Structure 1
Amino acid sequence: MTKPPIAMIRPIAAVSLALVLAACASPGFEAPDASFKGRVNVIETPVVLAGSQVKLAGQDFKPGQEVTIYYGGTALNQAPAVVGADGKFQTQFQVPQGAQTGNHSLTVNAAKPAAAVLLPLKVSPNVPLSGQERFDVKVQKLVPGLYQAAYSAKSDRVFVTSAVGRPPISQTELVKINPQTLAIEARVEAGLVPAAATASGNAPAVNRFAVYGVAVDDANGTVWVTNTRQDTVAVYNQADLKLIKQFDAGVVPHARDVLVDAALGKAYATPVGQADIVVFDTKTLAVLKKIPLQTTVKGPGDRKFSPMSLELDAANHRLFTVSMSTNEVAVINTRTDQVEKVFALEGARSASGVAYDARTNRVLVASQGSDNLIIADVASGNVLHDVKVGAGALNVAFDPVSNLAYVSNRASDTVTVVDINGRIVANLAGGSFPNHAVIDGKGGVFAVNKARGSDDPQGDRISYIKLR
């Protein structure tokens, strides 16, 4: 997407310190080596828990350097790792059983010559599976590369997006699902991206308008999708999945989510990395305006609001979005398309998913970087509950019928069910890479997950989850 909307948790990369100190026998420091570009990554350990064995790999170090990993002045690896002639090394250590969850800073110290690199390490909560006996779960394998789902109350159908790989993308579909059987009723490939002939005259590689985010408009019988990699959106017919309009590339840079306020005839799309929301007319299918989003977070650098997921308070025509870069919530009046308020969420890191409970006027935010679900009061902006739910909490759906929130934890392969008062009701197996969930308004939730490979039996499934 850049990256697809559904942004996954990657191995934690090191942040190099510009400071490199030369080791010497004298009390003074030698001149720093400005050419040092050492990097360290966590490998083979996608989720770090208390008690985990962590493997590290370094590269671009100086051959012969001896590397020790420190936390709070204590060496973690049993013996220094020696850098090979290729500038690479590997080492490992065990996270203490009593390690607290959260983001920790390790120091990677090299000697002969001296250098230092900071390594951020996130220790995720280890939430055991529980409460399975309280829920009925129906599961069905679908198509490769599932991303998001949307439910149409009017047509009683589920619409799911899928896209496989990185550009050029040749495999991407919009799929229509029967909610009772979870069987595919219809499917359509996304259209081809126009491309000029190559200099050699060869036909260009197949590249389609890959579909990621999805929303339904029951007033007009349409389905809206985001084409993240082409920076735009498209509109399809619910009945036969025919393409109604493909907007030009660039209309919504790095488009992630789309949501429709059907009563007001407007669709909203989030451009990740841009401090605004793009508004469309759902009848004329024209771009109306952009709503600017101003951060309230003060600090060094050019910080800006970067919108991710969207949620609608349909009764009061309020739109909610969260900022991945500044960990804030924005509340927008969809009648006027004016921002009513923006407030920060203490305890959130890389906020991405958002849901809303109209009965209590609480917003629920899932954050990938802090592995938690935060429940906050919209009126005051105060955080009421901070619930550790699992590694890579990516999205959340709130069901007002059962008063339960369903959090898709992408890195821990779970869907955590939390009540509005912050109590974990259940922690369910979500298959590989749980990615998104949507309510049906009848007390049930449709959840989709991705796959770790083409032969993954736990991947690319849709699940229907309902409290017994």
Structure 2
Amino acid sequence: MSHRIRRTAAVATALASGSVLAFAGGASAHTGHAHHASAVTSAPLAAGLYQSAYSERNHVLWATASAGRPVANSALLKVDPRTLAVKKSYTPPVTDAATGAVEAVYGVAVDDEHNTVWTTNTRNNSVAVYSQRTGAHLATLPNVAHAREVVVDERHNLAWASGFGDGSIVAFDTRTFKEKKRVTVEGAGPAGLAVNERTGTVYAADLNGDRLIAVSPYAKDPVFIPAGDGPISVALSANGRTAYAADQAAGAVSVVDLRKKAVTATIPTGAGALSVAADERSGRVLVANRTAANVTVVDPRRKAVVETLPTAANPNHVTVHHGTAYVLDKSGSGPAGQDQAYRVRLAR
């Protein structure tokens, strides 16, 4: 496949081709303030894209892709974050020789401290660990029911995974791969995760309970914090005092004061808000809105959307690193039916 990035200034052409450049999306309309445009480029990667994570140690974007039932086509992709070209593609282990099914990868997080990458294998109810250096599969860790997301706390040597299937939040030692802690909340549906590496507390968006579940490695019981309508993804502010929850049912982002345990603002972002990320550099919050087919940039201080960036259909995940965001969609709009990746240089 060709990974050459196609660029265009025309939004209509961009949507058709899956590429956008410097689209200014309604900052004036939303805030009345002048706002420079973020620069957006895109490229087709693979069918079945799900999530991505940035490795600062290796300057690599890791992405997961899984397609089909049973899933015979799945890959952990090593992507150049500047060009969005796939540098390497690693196939997960085969789990069923008769069907060719593999241990399909969905969620992803990097551990730069130990030079590994962690994935959730949702259909296999497990978490896996790979080498960032070689792509070798190092371990499969079972008993995470419908494992959805994983996040790494490098300071405390823990990887936390959400078990959407049974309401569990599970921590693994990133050095030994042994299970260290498990908290199960009956009736909960933990989905997205974010961790405060200063305190060690992990926050899970509880899709079933309209709340965040806070779990400390040092406390026996979880703490429950209100969120919005259908929280499915969560991110933290740079100081760790505020959480941002993507509320799928509401099509909004909730701003949550973690000390007061209260929602302080609800900002409409777009239908089907699915994934949220916060930029530590600017404080801006990005939300991928699956149904609306766009990514909104929110200024939480103004409590307003300051930019709207169109994507192809079904944006699925957003992550951000030092002012650059990466978005994956599930549009199938690439020239060979691939899903697309977007690189967004956020406006200052």
- Distance in 2, matches of 1:382 and 1:332, equals 17
Equivalent residue runs for 1:82-161 within 5 Å: 129-131=25-27, 134-161=37-64
- Which residue of 1 is the match for residue 273 of structure 2? 393
Task: In structure 2, give the amino acid aligned to 1:388.
Answer: P
3-state secondary structure, aligned to 2:94: coil
SS at match of 1:229: helix
**Counterpart pick for 1:427 among 308, 311, 315:** 308
**Larger Cα-atom Rg:** 1
**Aligned CA distance change for structure 1 residues 412 and 272 (closer, same or farther; 3 Å):** same
**Conserved 8 A contact 2:200-2:216:** yes
Structure 1 residue 288 displacement after superposition:
2.4
Residue matched to 1:19:
none
Match of 1:271, as an amino acid?
Answer: G
Paired AA for residue 343 in structure 2 = Y
Q: For residue 19 of structure 2, what is the aligned residue in structure 1? A: none
Query: Residue 71 of structure 2 aligns to which amino acid in structure 1?
Result: I
- Give the structure 2 partner of residue 176 of structure 1: 78
What corresponds to 1:54 in structure 2? none
Q: Is the 8 A contact 2:246 2:273 kept in 1?
A: yes
Given candidates 219, 222, 247, the residue that maps to 1:367 is 247
8 Å Cα contact 1:313/1:358 also seen in 2: no
Tell me if structure 1 keeps the 8 A contact 2:325–2:346. Answer: no
Contact 1:279 1:288 in 2 (8 A): yes
CA–CA distance in structure 1, aligned partners of residues 76 and 240 of structure 2: 35
Select which of 330, 337, 341 maps to 1:450. Answer: 330
Where does structure 2 lack aligned partners over 5 or more consecutive residues?
1-23, 28-34
Taking the aligned partners of 1:443 and 1:454, their CA distance within structure 2 comes to 26
**Structure 2 vs 1, CA of residues 310 and 453 (structure 1 numbering), >3 Å: closer, same or farther?**
same
Which of structures 1 and 2 has the larger relative contact order (alpha carbons within 8 angstroms, sep 6+)?
2
**2:110 corresponding residue in structure 1:** 216
Q: Do residues 342 (structure 1) and 224 (structure 2) align? A: yes
Q: Which runs of 5+ in 1 are unaligned?
A: 1-127, 196-203, 295-303
Q: State the SS of the aligned residue for 2:102.
A: coil
Instruction: Tell me how far apart the structure 1 counterparts of residues 99 and 239 of structure 2 sit (CA, whole Å).
Output: 51
Does the aligned pair in 1 maintain the 2:278–2:284 contact within 8 Å?
A: yes
Give, in whole Å, the separation in 1 of the partners of 2:109 and 2:240.
25
Report the Cα distance in structure 2 between the residues aligned to 1:416 and 1:339, rounded to whole angstroms: 35
Does structure 1 conserve the Cα–Cα contact (< 8 Å) formed by 2:151 and 2:194?
A: yes
Does the C-alpha gap of structure 1 residues 226 and 389 become closer, same or farther in structure 2, counting only changes over 3 Å? same
Distance 2:102 2:184 in 1: 30
Aligned-pair Cα RMSD in Å: 2.0
Q: Secondary structure at the match of 1:142?
A: strand
Tell me if the contact between 1:376 and 1:384 (Cα under 8 Å) persists in the aligned partners: yes
1:197-234 per-residue CA deviation (whole Å, 9 max, x = no partner) reads xxxxxxx2211111000001111110000100111111
Residue of structure 2 equivalent to 1:44: none
